Structure 1
Amino acid sequence: MRRFLRRPALVLSLSSIPLIAGCGGEDDPEASRFAWLATRAEEVRELSFEREVPVRTVTRAEVDAEAEQAAGAIEEDDLAALAATYGRLGYFPPDTDLRGVFGQSRDLAAAWYSPNDKSISLIGEVDDYVIIHEYVHGLQDQHFDIGGLLDDTLTSDAHLALRAALEGDAMLGEVRFLMQEENDADLDQLNWGLLIDAARAAGERILEENELPALFIDYPSFAYGFGFEYCAHNLSGASAALPAPGRPFPFDWSRQDALFTDRIPATTQQILTLDGQDPVVRVGLEEVPSELADRLEALDWDSLGEWLSYLLLRPLDGAPSLGDMRALAATWDGDRALFVRDRQTDATGTVWASAWDDPAAAAGIEAALWQLYGGAAIDGSDPRLGRAEDGELVWIERREEHVVALKNVDEALMPALAEAAFASGIKPMRLTLRKRPSLAAWLSRRLPGLP
């Protein structure tokens, strides 16, 4: 597979803003440079460091060796569980070399900040604005506890939304730094439309140019481009649709602070719609219904959200009768995936319930899922029951704007399990304890930190 990604924050190089050279003192140029950049990060982000953030430099070969070692240390059972759940749901073929995928995971950054080590790592020589970006992550961590915030996210959807806010905020800091250093100007003079378009385009190129399954580039394809626009709109009022700032300058950076305190974004749709989404519909199951508990055991649950729903359906984009998967995913109103184990056969099955804007959108999802699984109804059987291309049983059913899809569940259990999923058994504001981190959180932990 291709070594897959330049650091996505480098979308800034697509703009008209030139890069800058570092500066330092005569006695210890490197220490002077880092001290100056730390001060500049405080100024552009309008927060102060509570303690020093150590900076180390490593080589690409060292990072690659660490990545290979980390991939080799992943338990085989964890890889098998990933294939049996999210692979079965449709994100990647079951024969994907997952260990090889994780071995490439650190080839995406020029630098990163580690919430665990509270330090910055640079891969070789990097530009000053890259270091500013990492120092902003350090400021975020010292003031808002990045690690704690990420650990508190219960779903993959919520995890990606928070990471988009973190990355967008750090990108604002580096853009402001470049404007001040190179143009003797500030964000009131920024061409917001140009940078937002460039950031979006970079995320799309990540999806188009990489051979990895899209699930494994969920974070870089989403967090930088859409996170930047979300934070730009939050701070200044600018957006792709209306690139002129809608708030007076100087901008109030406490609005950014609030994204990590009392206005933490909860869904990727909230990021994509710039806080314009409708209330999320509670749908699906977080646990096995009591009447089926003698046969089925809950392994895990998740909410995919708009972005991961799009990545699931993206391979079908442009297929006859299906149309634009991005537009279809934008009709997301809520979802819940439950992964179960059959106590008798030890088979793993998937239960994905979802809600969409209207019956027409749900019908599009229903048709897309049949194509995703290569499924066809079994002659003479219930039309909701079919067999996937891989031979496993599927049950795909729509009721108005809701869709339930089951895969690899005992045929005798499917009607009752689907009925329970349609019944929306999730309690309001329920905080279910997780047996393990959400998928997005687990994938993020395979990375060294926040690039």
Structure 2
Amino acid sequence: MRQGEVDVRAVAAQAERVSAARGLPFLRPVTVGLAEERELRSLARAEARQDAGRSAARARLLSHLSLLPAGSDAGAARQAILESQPAGFYLAGADRLQLVRRPTVRGEILEVAGAFTGRDLVFGEIVGHELAHALQDQHFGLERPPSDPPSQDAELAWAALVEGDALLASFALGPGALFFDEEGFLRFAAKNAPALGEDLPAFEEERFKFPYLSGGNFALFLRRRGGTEALDRAFERPPLSSAEILAPERYLSGAAPRLPDLDGIDYGVFPLTPAIFETLGVFGIQFLVDTPDPQALAASWVGDRAALLDAPAGDRTAVLWVSDWTTPAAAVAVFDGLAMRLERRMGPPTEAEAERLAWTRPEGTLRLEVSGERVVWLDDSAGDDGYGLWNAAYRAPARALSSPIFKKPEGEPMAVSDAVRAEPSAAPASPGPEPLLRLAGEGAEASFQSVLDVRFRQAELDGSSGATVAALKARLRGHITRAIDLGLAVQLECNGIDDLLEDAYLSFSPVSPQLLYLGNFRAGRFRVPFAFERGLAEELRMLGWLSLPERELAPDRRAGMGYQLDLSRYRVPLRLDLGLHEGEPAGAGQGPLFAARFSLEPLRLRAGLFVRAGLGVLYERNHQADSGERRPLLAVAADAGLGLHPFSLEAEALWFDRAAGGGAEAHGFSVTAGVELLPEFMRVLFRYAELSLPGSALRREYGLGAHLFYFGQRFRLSYFLLAPRASSQPEAFYHQVSFQAVL
């Protein structure tokens, strides 16, 4: 993505590489569009609502088995990951790839970083992975009916095949290929994968990583054995258990899992009602046994089934889990591993025999027994009344797990150049104006999203080239500010209203206290009374601000409004900012102050070359000069940028005229050169500036600084050491440190 829109040529180039790596042609065009974060959140919430009942029952079952903490909301934690992690996603069955826009602090973090690197830092490497999913969907279909009986372990195995295959197909497009081969990268990722969230239980976190890490090893094993054709055959006959992912030789043997048929027990005679049936698989069992060996478990596992059972009156709950193994010795090894883990959690058993253990506690009795190749776990709040259920579990036959019949999708190979197309920017025309407010479905839904900006400044500006005109006047008057700013962007969503209040900004300075409020109204896809064309209104921002006085420190009272118009998504490389200030600024002017800025970027190439230019104008009718007289003031700032990755050069020229009424001209310029030392992580900049003010010596300023980026540009730490030089002032240094974070 470049300048807020999809770079179709870049995506098509990635599609060609992925198609060649996977050995499959595209059969239908893939539409690539941009999605706001609210769309990703809506998808995650819809999935969570659809699966809410099953997710709650599953959490209860897993907590009884000590896989999840009691009362944990794994569904909410998993939803949070789905909302925050992906930079893109593929919609199965729709031939559609969506890239997710991420909020940035004032648009600076990703915009500047993208300019220096000459490529998209957020979306570039994820596109190849999602295009691989598009190939899978077109050739094999990603939406499959569940196994019979339904098994979450089978769903995990299917996800491992899908994600592992996509990971290999797109591996050469990412930075890992510069340092590792595929096997080395998977080993490195398994050891160094970051935590996904503090609130996510370890079991759920590892389950989230399993399709990528273990799935990658499974896909690599198949490809080494039989090339990409072996992967094709795996989609036609997919693995049905995590055991087959962990031990691929087992998958090649063709032996299907055989699950204890707990689903067929008549629970009404106890009386109990099943809330959920589940298969833990080797992935889940390894968290239950002491000193687990996943490879040994995978080699000896035949099948398992767990059930959460509730009494109709709500006075009894039982968890039944039965697992079968290839030999009695393998079953005893699992029994011993379970017993060691239970003793560590609950102490010595209250009943102990060679092949039977029991723990009696206030909430019920947990019994564990091994007989032949079968291990039975029963945790029943009814205590000894559970023996009938125990016997039914031992007598339950094993049932082979079967997968749905594969039906190959239809389609003809097409040229890669035609395989990618961009989603139209503007919404399609409708028969007539739509209502401004429309509540649909369950009604209005509100959500909030925060962007935190905390910085300490001791400089005229924030150290960047191309200063905005809003800061130009303070700079020319020689003001040095010391401020701690706290910015909070709040996004409000409602069904039928897009971004009614997109952001609000609150700034406080201990030297010149002020309250700055920026309200950003966007009309979304609806017509508004100003009669802006549909789609154009989405690019227009309306801003308002207010500055309040605070005793003698800042007798500054000013209000203003402004507009911002960005046409880059319409392939017009132009941005326009207009501002009108009205009030009584301290020691400055009275009446209106007009500021305008134009930004133009006519050239940006995939090779990392860019050319950018900007022009700013500031006019104040009644500026207060040093003599106390009031006269017009006109100031102009022009800036230009040139970059060829990893180098960049930006320059800015300042000029203002106070000739009217006896004043004099002043002028200055600055040059900033930068080089990216560590891709996506560290950039070093050198700055030189000269400023000539009437009645004072020429002032020169040198600066050396660095920007550090963390976690995909979400955090930026900047430091500048600046040294002003002037004949009328002693030599001195001042520091500038800023920190920005997107939460």
Task: Give the TM-score, by structure 1 length.
Answer: 0.70
Q: Does 1:337 align with 2:314?
A: no
Tell me if the contact between 2:154 and 2:241 (Cα under 8 Å) persists in the aligned partners.
Answer: yes
Query: Is the aligned partner of 1:230 residue 2:221?
Result: no
More strand by share: 2
Amino acid at match of 2:339: A
Who is 2:386 aligned against?
A: 414
Q: Which residue of 2 aligns with 1:308?
A: 284
> Aligned pair in 2 of structure 1 residues 383, 48: CA closer, same or farther (>3 Å)?
closer
Q: Which has the larger radius of gyration?
A: 2
**Match for 2:250 among 264, 276, 296?**
276
**SS of the counterpart of 1:338?**
strand
Aligned to 1:194: 184
Counterpart code for 1:55: V
**How far is 1:156 from its partner?**
1.3
* SS at 2:62 equivalent: helix
The match for 1:104 is 80
Equivalent position of 1:347 in the other structure: 316
1:16 corresponds in structure 2 to none
Taking the aligned partners of 1:296 and 1:153, their CA distance within structure 2 comes to 20
Q: CA distance change for structure 1 residues 167 and 400 in 2, over 3 Å: closer, same or farther?
A: same
Residues 112-151 of structure 1: matches in 2 within 5 Å? 112-115=89-92, 117-124=94-101, 125=120, 126-148=122-144
- Is 1:323 the counterpart of 2:296? The answer is no
Structure 2 Cα separation of the partners of residues 172 and 271 of structure 1: 15
Output aligned runs, 1:60-71, within 5 Å.
60=37, 62=38, 65-66=41-42, 69-70=45-46
CA positional deviation for 1:150: 6.0
Contact (CA 8 Å) 2:365, 2:381: kept in 1 or not? yes
| Counterpart amino acid of residue 94 in structure 1 | A
Distance 1:49 1:71, change over 3 A: closer
Q: Which residue of structure 1 aligns with residue 585 of structure 2? A: none
- CA contact 2:129–2:166 (8 Å) conserved in 1: yes
2:158 matched to which residue of 1?
Answer: 162
* Contact 2:247/2:295 (<8 A) preserved: no
Equivalent residues in 2 for 1:384-423 (5 A)?
A: 384-388=357-361, 391-423=363-395
CA contact (8 A) 1:377 1:385 kept: yes
Alignment of 1:218-257 (within 5 A): 218-237=206-225, 252-257=227-232
Q: Distance in 2 between matches of 1:380 and 1:364?
A: 12
Percent same amino acid at aligned positions?
Answer: 22
| 8 Å contact kept, 1:283–1:334 | yes
Q: 200, 205, 209: which one pairs with 1:217?
A: 205
Q: What CA distance in whole angstroms lies between the structure 1 residues aligned with 2:152 and 2:99?
A: 28
Offset, 1:376: 5.4
Q: Is the 8 A contact 1:355 1:401 kept in 2?
A: yes
Q: 2:61 aligns with which of 65, 85, 110?
A: 85
Aligned partners of 1:211 and 1:85: how far apart in 2? 19
Tell me the CA shift for residue 257 of structure 1.
Answer: 0.8
State the match for 1:30 in structure 2: 7
1:410 Cα deviation (Å)? 2.7
TM-score (norm 2): 0.45
Match of 1:175 in 2: 171
1:9 is matched with none
Supply the distance in 1 between the matched residues of 2:21 and 2:2 (Cα, whole angstroms): 17
Cα deviation code 1:184-206 (max 9, x no counterpart): xxxxx983441231243245x54
Structure-2 change in CA distance of 1:347 and 1:63 (3 Å): farther
Shift of 1:269: 1.1
Please state how far the C-alpha of 1:393 moved relative to its aligned partner: 2.4
Q: Which residue of 1 aligns with 2:238?
A: 264
Q: 1:135 to 1:72 in 2, by over 3 A?
A: closer
Determine the structure 2 residue equivalent to 1:285: 261
SS at 2:346 equivalent: coil
Partner of residue 295, structure 1: 271
* 3-state SS, counterpart of residue 158 of structure 1: helix
**1:159 partner amino acid:** E
Alignment match, 1:94: 70
Alignment map for 1:349-388 (pairs within 5 Å): 349-356=318-325, 358-368=330-340, 370-371=342-343, 374=346, 377-378=349-350, 384-388=357-361
1:71 positional shift:
8.1
Moved more, 44-53 or 139-148: 44-53
Distance 1:421 1:178 in 2: 50
Is contact 1:218–1:308 with CA below 8 Å preserved after alignment? no
- Distance in structure 2 (CA, Å) of the matches to 1:56 and 1:82: 35
Deviation at 1:53, TM superposition (A): 1.7
For 2:148 and 2:9, locate their aligned partners in 1 and report how far apart those are by CA, in whole Å: 37
* Equivalent AA in structure 2 for residue 96 of structure 1: S
Residues 10-69 of structure 1 deviation map (CA, whole Å, 9 limit, x = unaligned): xxxxxxxxxxxx899xxx971222233233322222212222222222355x36753785
- CA 360–378 in structure 1, closer or farther in 2 if over 3 Å, else same: closer
Compute the displacement of 1:74 (Å): 6.4
Contact 1:294 1:343 in 2 (8 A): no
C-alpha displacement of 1:145: 0.9
1:54-108 alpha-carbon deviations (Å, 9 max, x no partner): 2222355x36753785588468755542333222232212222446424413123
Structure 1: runs of 5+ lacking an equivalent = 1-21, 184-188, 238-246, 314-321, 433-451
Q: Secondary structure at the match of 2:99?
A: strand
- Find the aligned partners of 1:220 and 1:98 in 2 and give their Cα distance: 11
Residues 147 and 69 from structure 1, CA distance in 2 versus in 1: closer, same or farther, beyond 3 angstroms? closer
Cα distance, 1:229 vs structure 2: 1.2
Specify which structure has the higher proportion of helix: 1
Helix, strand or coil for the counterpart of 1:113?
A: strand
1:414/1:285 CA distance change after superposition, 3 Å? farther
Q: CA deviation at 1:430?
A: 6.9
Quick one: distance in 2 between partners of 1:220 and 1:274? 20
Check 1:85–1:327 CA distance in 2 against 1; reply closer, same or farther (3 A cut): same
Rate the CA distance shift 1:339–1:426 in 2: closer, same or farther, 3 A. farther
Structure 2 contact 259–302 (Cα < 8 Å) conserved: no
Give the distance between the partners of 1:83 and 1:296, measured in 2 at CA. 19
Q: Distance in 2 between matches of 1:373 and 1:312?
A: 11
Distance of 2:314 and 2:296 partners within structure 1: 36
AA aligned to 1:257 is D
Relative distance call for 1:282 and 1:69 in structure 2 (3 A) is closer
Deviations 1:344-380 (A, max 9, x none): 5453321101134524412323314524762654479
Q: Corresponding residue for 1:44? A: 21
Contact map agreement 2:153 2:279 (CA 8 A) in 1: yes
Q: Are the structure 2 counterparts of residues 149 and 167 from structure 1 closer, same or farther at C-alpha, using a change threshold of 3 Å?
A: farther
**Alignment partner, residue 30 of structure 2:** 53
Once residues 84 and 349 of structure 1 are traced to their aligned partners in structure 2, the CA distance between those partners, rounded to angstroms, is: 11
Over 3 Å counting, the alpha-carbon distance change for 1:128 and 1:73 in structure 2 is same
Q: Alpha carbon RMSD of aligned pairs, Å?
A: 3.9
Distance (Å, rounded) in 1 between the aligned partners of 2:331 and 2:125: 48
The 3 A distance-change label for structure 1 pair 294 and 149 is closer
Instruction: Give distance in 1, aligned partners of 2:132 and 2:321.
Output: 38
> How far has the Cα of 1:235 moved from its partner?
0.8
Partner amino acid for 1:271? I
CA distance in structure 1 between the partners assigned to 2:161 and 2:372 by the alignment: 34
Higher relative contact order (CA 8 A, sep 6+): 1
